[in-house]
Amino acid sequence: MVGPKGIRKAGIVALFLLPSAVPLAMFTIAPMVAAGWISLHSWNLQSPMRWIGLDNYTRLLGDADTRDALLHTLLFLALYLPLVYVCGLALAVAFNRRFPGRNLLRSMYFLPVVTSWVVVALTWKWLLNPANGLVNHLLGLAGIPGPGWWASPGWAIPSTVIASAWKDSGFVMVILLAGLQSIPEEYLEAARLDGASAWQSFWKVTFPLLTPSSYFVVMISLISGFQVFDQIYVMTGGGPAGASRPLVEEIYDLTFRYGDAGGASALSLLLFALILVVTVVQQRLQRRWVHYV
């Protein structure tokens, strides 16, 4: 059966597939499997691993730091998602008309999207600097005492949300704009003929027909929101006093600050499970609110 021809064919498949299969197996699948194994052990990266079964998981589920990190991540999402969606939607609706300078303006809104999180975070850390920052200076001129922004426990997460929404609203705009432009003109025409106002036809026709794009935005934002790290790490370092530390930073700290590789691996897998559950739930829920033409 496996003659010279079969070997040659296998060689071709290997030639085309192995360059991606080997690295993916080695540097994605193998570490994930290893994480599962390590998560069942007590291990500080130095001394021999000690089997402790599910202790890491039960410990994490009752741990105050982990709970706080989850709450910070959820708070970030609860502020970020509505803000970035509303900004993106308003921009998409505005750019869905023709006017001179439209492309230039749109490209200005998209510019922060191609900037790195570290630069975005540093720029906003400077703008929102409580002592010497421009924003508090301007607020001061208006007679408003500026808050402590990223240096105060209550404002740390909102500060990172402002920076994130500034970076991402152009991205959301482009996706929703493409969705708006794919809505057939006849639907809006029909609404107009039936005497619907602009407001009514937006909420009764446009918005429902935009739900597939909205669904995409919500999915992407949820998934990236659960993984939020870069901008918070750079702006606040998770502080002050851990007041803004998200889940990914907790994983990082467990490993590199507390030398708890077992706990960090367990938390990585819990985060993975959380993202999977959210994805599946969204997939189920979409039947209730996403309308396809």
Partner 1 sequence: MSRRLLIALLAAGALFMIFPFVWTVVTSITVGGDVLTTPRLIPERAGLDGYRKLFEFLPFWRIALNSLVLAVVSTALLLITSSTAAYAFARLEFPGKNVVFVGYLATLMIPMQVLVVPLFIEIRALDLVDTYASLIVPTIASAFGVFLLRQSVAVLPRELDEAAFVDGAGHIRIFLRIILPLIRPALATYGLFAFMSSWNAFLWPLVAIRSREFMTLPLGLSTLSGQYSNQWNAIMAGSVVSIVPMLVLYALAQKHIVQSVANAGLK
Q: How far is the CB of 224 from partner 1 (least distance, A)?
A: 9
Taking CB under 8 A as the criterion, which residues in 74-93 touch partner 1?
Answer: 91
Residue 151 engages partner 1 in binding (rule: CB under 8 A): no
Residue 209 engages partner 1 in binding (rule: CB under 8 A): no
Cα–Cα distance between 149 and 136 in angstroms, integer? 9
Which of 105, 139, 278, 290 is close enough to bind partner 1 by CB under 8 A? 105
Which of 48, 99, 195, 241 is close enough to bind partner 1 by CB under 8 A? 99
Q: How far is the CB of 195 from partner 1 (least distance, A)?
A: 20
Q: Which stretch binds partner 1 (CB under 8 A): 58-66, 106-114, 146-154, 183-191?
A: 106-114
Taking CB under 8 A as the criterion, which residues in 216-235 touch partner 1?
Answer: 216-217, 223, 227, 229-230, 233-234
Q: How far is the CB of 187 from partner 1 (least distance, A)?
A: 17
Which residues, 6+ apart, have CB-to-CB distance to 249 below 8 Å? Answer: 69, 229, 232, 233, 238
Residue 261 engages partner 1 in binding (rule: CB under 8 A): yes
Nearer to partner 1, 65 or 230 (CB): 230
Which of 75, 110, 208, 243 is close enough to bind partner 1 by CB under 8 A? 110
**Secondary structure letter of residue 115 according to DSSP:** S
Using CB under 8 A as the criterion, what x/- string covers residues 1-40 for binding partner 1? Answer: --------xx-xx-xxx-xxxxxx-xxxxxxx-xx--x--
Long-range contacts of range 266-272, CB-CB < 8 Å, 24 or more positions apart?
266/39, 266/56, 266/57, 266/60, 267/60, 267/66, 268/35, 268/39, 269/35, 269/36, 269/39, 270/57, 270/60, 271/226, 271/227, 271/247, 272/32
Q: Which stretch binds partner 1 (CB under 8 A): 74-82, 152-160, 171-179, 187-195?
A: 171-179
Q: How far is the CB of 84 from partner 1 (least distance, A)?
A: 13
Dihedral angle of Cα 10, 15, 21, 25, to the nearest 10 degrees: 80
Nearer to partner 1, 92 or 157 (CB): 92
Taking CB under 8 A as the criterion, which residues in 123-142 touch partner 1?
Answer: 123-127, 129, 131-134, 137
Residue 106 engages partner 1 in binding (rule: CB under 8 A): yes
What are the φ and ψ backbone dihedral angles of 46, each rounded to 5 degrees? Answer: -115, -70
Residue 90: alpha-carbon gap to chain centroid: 20
Distances (CA, A) of 118 to 72, 112, 124, 125: 20, 12, 10, 10
Cα–Cα distance between 94 and 112 in angstroms, integer? 19
- Gyration radius of the chain's alpha carbons: 24
- Counting residues that bind partner 1 (by CB under 8 A) gives 93
Q: Enter the tokens of residue 293.
A: 């033409």
Residue 154 engages partner 1 in binding (rule: CB under 8 A): no
Nearest to 157 by CA among 245, 67, 251, 247: 245
- State the amino acid at position 150 in one-letter form: W
Taking CB under 8 A as the criterion, which residues in 55-74 touch partner 1?
Answer: none
